[in-house]
Amino acid sequence: MKSCCASVIRAVNADDTAKMTESDTIHLRGLDLPVRIGVPEDERAAWQTLEADVSLRPGVRFEEMHDDLALTADYAAVALRLRSLAAEKPRRLIETLAAEMADCVLKEFGAAEVGVELRKRILPGCDHVAVRLSRKA
């Protein structure tokens, strides 16, 4: 499994890929998720890897954090929790998992807003199928 590259960046406009409404956003890009997912039962029986991009906006602006981890989201903990959530049970739809992930980040990590994109490499001749959503607390 490749490692997740997490970076904290300042968005410069409303066209940010995660469609977040505020500029102080934490991004986890290319997070590998172990899953059993798919419509056919035999597809769900085998483990596969989805790739996720997760963007979250803490409830506090970066300059108000004063270097205090308690005021932000611990992105290592977010990554670990989302991997655990993805592996918990089989699902038929990537849409279901994306919604569960967004709900988890909002409820468990106190984010004001979250964006999730999931990518699944499943169709021949197609790089990936993706779903994207954003939610506010």
* 17-70 tens-digit pLDDT: 344 445 899 999 999 999 999 999 999 999 999 999 999 999 999 999 999 999
Given 89, 107, 120, 136, the catalytic residue = 120
Q: What is the pLDDT of residues 65-83, one digit of tens each?
A: 999 999 999 999 999 999 9
**pLDDT reported for residue 23:** 86
Annotation says 120 is catalytic = yes
Q: What's the mean per-residue pLDDT of the chain?
A: 87
Of 1.10.1270.20, 3.40.50.300, 3.40.50.10860, 3.30.1130.10, which CATH number belongs to 5-136?
Answer: 3.30.1130.10
Query: CB pairs under 8 A, 24+ apart, for 34-40?
Result: 34/1, 34/83, 34/86, 34/87, 35/86, 35/87, 35/91, 35/97, 36/89, 36/90, 36/91, 37/90, 37/91, 37/92, 37/93, 37/94, 37/97, 37/120, 38/92, 38/122, 39/92, 39/93
pLDDT in tens, 89-120: 999 999 999 999 999 999 999 999 999 999 99
